[in-house]
Amino acid sequence: MRRVALVTGVTGQDGAYLSKLLLEKDYTVYGLVRRSTRYALANLDYLGVTSDLDLIEGDLGDEASLINVVRRTHPNEVYNLAAQSFVGSSWDQPILTTDVDAMGTLRLLEAVRHFAPQARFYQASTSEMFGNSHENGLQTEETPFHPRSPYAIAKLYAYWIVNNYRDSYGMFCVNGILFNHESPIRGPEFVTRKISRSVAQIKLGLSQRLGLGNLHSRRDWGFAGDYVEAMRLMLQQDAPENFIISTGETHSVRDFVQAAFEHVGIPDWEARVYIDPAFRRPAELFCLQGSSRKAREKLGWQPRVRFRELVAMMVDADLQRLRQGAA
Ligand code: NAP
Ligand code: F7E
């Protein structure tokens, strides 16, 4: 029997990579798509999987649509990737962010509890929940949470309600606590893609300068294609447990900018970058560096793509897109 997966957030970065992986593993994949989808199907098209998916309309804000999709699809595995995922926007739209990221998770859990209680449930939790909390510079599964944005607070509710449904109803529910992961189809509002796209534009003479906020923030950046493998592995375990997924390396935004300019052979990059206060945040996370030891030991997972390779992959993809005339 083919396994059936239901993926929310299928049009986003992770939804596209996860769908590709599940199709390669011979799953039937249903994707939940909003009527007003932001990315349309560009990410799925980029990875060449659109025609192999079954897309069903629904919204995490609408319980009826979630009940409908769970009843129609009879999933063995549910991956809840849908979210208002941009931290910066969560200060501008805190109520929407909370409704989708916190309440939306609860709505989906309820639909699964009533109509597919045996399904295994993956929740896209985030390193943002840690805030500036750390233990000797690292975040582990035991590090206390101290969220610093409306996004992180909504995700923390989702984290706990997922744990609660596991404890209360015996459902197979897990949280993947993923650190930042990027790719050529990362949304252009996130800093890595903003940099890769701007550097490609500057290289091709289509732009002159790049305006950024805090250059000193440090993130543990991995490749999305590696991280979706961990999501699937978490649902294949004998017992449901939460896992951190990270590279264990940290780099600053400045490091990313420098690596991107160096990759295209522009050494005098500092003259091309200016600080734009509009991109500073009301509360910042200074340094994320995750320990994925538990995932390495129990899931047998490890990241393959290293920092410089990731930067090069993203810049090259943007160069190629621009040369082909894409915006
Ligand atoms: P993304 O590219 O921003 O994708 C978000 C997805 O959620 C899109 O498909 C979007 O659909 C969908 N969505 C938004 N609001 C929705 C709603 N009300 N109902 C249904 N779908 C809705 O995010 P991502 O980078 O792939 O991340 C996937 C998940 O992992 C998110 O939950 C994110 O918070 C979490 N996460 C990401 C990272 C990371 O570094 N990427 C790290 C930790 C956790 P539209 O196309 O309709 O907008
Ligand atoms: O910011 C700084 C910014 O927006 C990274 C999401 O996937 O990962 C992501 O959240 C850092 C921050 O990602 C600009 O202040 C400087 O310190 O790329 P980002 P994020 O906020 O880390 C986590 C794990 C998630 O769960 C989220 O869903 O870069 N920064 N200058 C800037 N950031 C942006 N976006 N734009 C700038 O111009």
Using the predicted structure, report yes or no on whether residue 39 has a pLDDT greater than 90.
Answer: no
What's the average model confidence in pLDDT over 35-50?
90
Predicted confidence at residue 38, as pLDDT, reads: 72
SS3 123: strand
| Residues 262 and 110: beta-carbon distance below 8 Å | no
59 Cβ closer than 6 Å to some ligand 1 atom: yes
Q: Which residues are known catalytic residues?
A: 126, 128, 151
Predicted confidence at residue 229, as pLDDT, reads: 98
Question: Which residue, among 269, 251, 266, 270, has the nearest Cα to 310 in the 3D structure?
Answer: 251
Domain ranges of the chain: 4-181+222-245, 187-220+250-288+305-323
CATH of domain 187-220+250-288+305-323: 3.90.25.10
Residue 129 CA to ligand 1 center (angstroms) comes to: 16
What's the average model confidence in pLDDT over 163-179?
98
- Out of 14, 46, 65, 243, give the residue to mutate to test ligand 1, the one with the largest number of ligand atoms within 8 Å of its CB: 14
Using the predicted structure, report yes or no on whether residue 138 has a pLDDT greater than 80.
Answer: yes
Predicted confidence at residue 210, as pLDDT, reads: 98
Residue 282 CA to ligand 2 center (angstroms) comes to: 13
Q: What percent of the chain has pLDDT over 90?
A: 97
CATH of domain 4-181+222-245: 3.40.50.720
Distances (CA, A) of 268 to 197, 225, 251, 254, 318: 18, 32, 20, 14, 21
Give phi and psi for 286, each to the nearest 5: -80, -40
- Full DSSP string of 242-261: -EEE--S--EEHHHHHHHHH
pLDDT digits (tens, 9 = 90+) for 286-308: 999 999 999 999 999 999 999 99
Using the predicted structure, report yes or no on whether residue 326 has a pLDDT greater than 80.
Answer: no
What's the average model confidence in pLDDT over 79-94?
98
Predicted confidence at residue 2, as pLDDT, reads: 95
Tell me if the pTM is above 0.95: yes
**pLDDT tier for residue 327 given thresholds of 50, 70 and 90:** low
pLDDT averaged over every residue in the chain: 97
Predicted confidence at residue 59, as pLDDT, reads: 98
